[in-house]
């Protein structure tokens, strides 16, 4: 298993312009795989018994200019595509898309805002303060077991100001439109026509118009 993981991670080496950044990437990924809680960088340091003085080094990794997220996603999509495990519907890979609301305690964190939860689950509160993400996955596996593998996940709601600073022309698009657009971007990286399954919440005129432009 570790040999397979090692071979897979080595395929990301070309995504990094610096060797040190790639090594921290490997450490972060392995730490996220084996962590027993969800305390961020603290979990990685604890599980891998890393000297706490390297905490800032790991934080700096996420801000490093030696790698770009789009290239990482493209490489990961390529790895998944060549796995030979893609589930196909009438010859086309099947993508899934959905939004995820993650509650946050810190009100001063970037991107945290008051969110309305549309879920019909009565156990969930009507409002939370947190982040809203848009996730795109692809179905793969064997006839004995199919599962959805995550390909892309981005912060959507409340990130418009940050995106405008970065010069993103699509910063003010709604969560629904952004999810559909990112599904189109993932399909382009797959390199063939894909089918996508979405919740009826995403069945809007704007979403359909965006989909027709892909």
Q: What does the pLDDT read at residue 78? A: 95
User: Is 32 in the same domain as 54?
Assistant: yes
Strand intervals (E) in the chain: 88-89, 92-103, 113-116, 127-142, 145-155, 195-198
* Domain hosting residue 39, numbered range: 2-63
Q: What is the pLDDT of residues 34-54, one digit of tens each?
A: 998 888 899 999 999 999 999
User: Is 187 in the same domain as 87?
Assistant: yes
Residue identified by tokens 């382009």 is: 188
User: Is 169 in the same domain as 73?
Assistant: yes
User: Is 30 in the same domain as 100?
Assistant: no
User: Is 116 in the same domain as 187?
Assistant: yes
Domain total for the chain?
A: 2
Look at residues 76, 75, 97 and name the one whose alpha carbon lies nearest to residue 194.
Answer: 97
Question: CA 74 to CA 88: how far, in whole Å?
Answer: 20
Q: What is the pLDDT of residues 53-103, one digit of tens each?
A: 999 999 999 999 999 999 999 999 999 999 999 999 999 999 999 988 877
User: Is 31 in the same domain as 49?
Assistant: yes
State the pairing for strand pair 127-142/113-116. antiparallel
Question: CA 212 to CA 166: how far, in whole Å?
Answer: 27
Say what the pTM is.
0.83
User: Is 73 in the same domain as 59?
Assistant: no
> Which residue, 42, 63, 84, sits at the end of a domain?
63
**Using an 8 Å Cβ cutoff, are 184 and 136 in contact?**
no
User: Is 40 in the same domain as 109?
Assistant: no
User: Is 159 in the same domain as 84?
Assistant: yes
> Which residue, 41, 63, 85, sits at the end of a domain?
63
Question: CA 162 to CA 151: how far, in whole Å?
Answer: 23
């Amino acid at each position: 298993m570790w040999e397979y993981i090692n071979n897979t991670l080595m395929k990301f080496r070309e995504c990094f312009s610096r060797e040190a950044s790639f090594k921290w990437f490997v450490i972060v990924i392995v730490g996220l795989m084996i962590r027993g809680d969800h305390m961020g960088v603290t979990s990685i340091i604890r599980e891998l018994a890393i000297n706490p003085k390297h905490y800032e080094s790991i934080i700096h990794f996420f801000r490093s200019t030696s790698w770009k997220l789009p290239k990482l996603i493209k490489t990961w999509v390529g790895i998944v595509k060549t796995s030979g495990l893609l589930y196909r519907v009438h010859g086309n890979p099947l993508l899934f898309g959905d939004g995820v609301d993650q509650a946050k305690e810190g009100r001063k964190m970037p991107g945290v805002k008051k969110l309305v939860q549309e879920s019909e689950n009565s156990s969930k509160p009507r409002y939370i303060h947190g982040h809203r993400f848009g996730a795109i996955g692809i179905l793969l596996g064997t006839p004995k077991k199919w599962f959805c593998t995550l390909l892309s996940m981005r912060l959507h709601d409340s990130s418009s100001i940050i995106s405008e600073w970065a010069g993103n022309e699509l910063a003010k698009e709604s969560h629904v439109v952004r999810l559909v657009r990112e599904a189109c971007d993932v399909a382009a990286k797959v390199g063939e026509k894909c089918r996508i399954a979405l919740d009826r919440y995403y069945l809007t005129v704007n979403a359909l118009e965006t989909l027709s432009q892909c």
